[in-house]
Amino acid sequence: MSEFSLIHTHFKHLTAPHQHTVLGIGDDCAISNIPPNSQLVSCVDTLVAGRHFVHETSPHAIAYKSVAVNLSDLASMGATPYAILVGLSLPKSMANDDFCQAFAGGLAAACTPFGVELIGGDTTSSPILTISVTALGFVPHGQAITRQGACVGDVVCVSGTVGLASLALHGILDDLHGDGHANRPPKSLPEKLRQAMQYPAPQVALGRQLIGFANSMIDISDGLGQDLGHILTASNVGAVIDLDAIPSDALLDALPHAQKWQHQINGGDDYQLCLTMTKANFKQFNQSYPNSIFAIGEIVAQQGLTLIFNHQKVDLTVQGWEHF
C-alpha cells in the first residue's frame, strides 16, 4: 500500500471537521482559526514499540493511548482539545489494511468523545513502530493552569485511582529480559487492569472545571512522586503526602504496603490529574463537583517530598518512569 493510498483510505475522513479548521488533511499544512480571547496550547508525545508499549499490544489500543496521553497533557493545563497531528513510522509488514484499519479505529475512539479532529501528519517506513502525536487545544487567555503556582498551605489532590496501570504492566512484562515483549498477552489481564493500562480516560472536563480553582496542576504519566516533584520544583515548595489517602483499588489493597506504594508513587501511566489549591477552594470545588478530586496531602515550605503512613514518615525512593 502506498503512503497516499494509506492516508486517503484510513485517515483523511476519520474524524468530523472542527469549526476552527480552515484546511485539514490534503495540503502541505493545516490551517486553523484561534477562538477570540483564547491561547493555543500544544504538546507532543512519542511512543515507541518495546519502550512505551509491549509488542503484543493491539493496533487499536496503541493508537487510542497515543492520543489519550496527549489529551491528558491538555487537560492538565485546563485546555479544551481541538485537533491532533499524527506521525506514524511503521514496518512494511504493518502497512496493510488490517493494521491501519484497527489503528485508525483507535485514533477515532480517542478523538470522537472530545470532538477532536485529525488535521494532518506524516507516514513513513521504519524498522520499529513509532507514533508521534501532536495535540492542540485552546484555553481562555491567561487562565492556563501550570506547574508553577503551588503555595504553602495548598491541598494536594488527585483526580482518581493511582497505581492500577503500573500493576497491569508488571503483570505482563518479563522483567528479567526487558526486551519489550510480554510474558502473557495484555488481553489475559483482568478487564479493570487492561483498561487502566491501555485505555486511560483523559480528565478533560475536570481540567476545564479546575480553572479558577487550582493553583498548579500536572497529569500523572511518569509516577505520582516524580510528577508531583515537578510541581514542587517549579513552585519552589515541598509537600507532605499521606499514603493512606491516595485513592486505591481492591487489587492494590491486596498487596503488601511496600508493593502497593511502589505502584502508586513510582508506577506512572495513570493519566489522572495531580493538583494543588487553597483549602477554601477545595471546599468550594467539592460542593460544586463532589467526589471528583481527592485530598492526599499539603504543600509545605520545606522543599522535597515527604511520605507518611499512620503519622509516621515512610522511606521510599521516588523514581518514576525514565524514557532513556
Residue 29 sits in the same domain as residue 135 = yes
Q: Is residue 149 part of a domain?
A: no
Q: Give the pLDDT of residue 324.
A: 47
Read off φ and ψ for residue 140, nearest 5 degrees. -55, 140
Coil/strand/helix, residue 35: coil
The stretch 272-282 carries a mean pLDDT of: 98
CATH number of residue 133's parent domain: 3.30.1330.10
314-324 confidence digits (pLDDT tens): 999 888 656 54
Q: Side chain identity at 307, as an amino acid letter? A: L
Q: Give the pLDDT of residue 187.
A: 74
Q: Give the pLDDT of residue 161.
A: 97
CATH number of residue 174's parent domain: 3.90.650.10
Residue 127 sits in the same domain as residue 196 = no
pLDDT range class, residue 189, cuts 50, 70, 90: confident
DSSP sequence for 140-156: ETT----SS---TTPEE
Distance (Å, whole) CA 88 – CA 86: 6
Q: For residue 209, what are the domain limits?
A: 155-313
256-269 confidence digits (pLDDT tens): 999 999 999 999 99
Residue 175 sits in the same domain as residue 116 = no
Distance (Å, whole) CA 132 – CA 184: 26
Residue 126 sits in the same domain as residue 195 = no
Q: Is residue 145 part of a domain?
A: no
Residue 289 sits in the same domain as residue 163 = yes
Give the HSE-up count for residue 174: Cα atoms under 13 Å, Cβ half-sphere.
Answer: 13
Q: Is residue 210 part of a domain?
A: yes
Distance (Å, whole) CA 64 – CA 106: 4
The stretch 104-116 carries a mean pLDDT of: 97
Q: How many domains does the chain have?
A: 2
Residue 92 — left, alpha, or beta (φ > 0 → left; ψ -120 to 50 → alpha)? alpha
The model scores a pTM over 0.75:
yes
The stretch 13-19 carries a mean pLDDT of: 89
Q: Give the pLDDT of residue 251.
A: 95
Q: Is residue 150 part of a domain?
A: no
182-191 contacts: CB < 8 A, separation 24 or more? 182/54, 182/55, 182/56, 185/56, 186/54, 186/56, 186/57, 186/58, 186/61, 187/58, 190/251
Better-scored residue on pLDDT, 177 or 218: 218
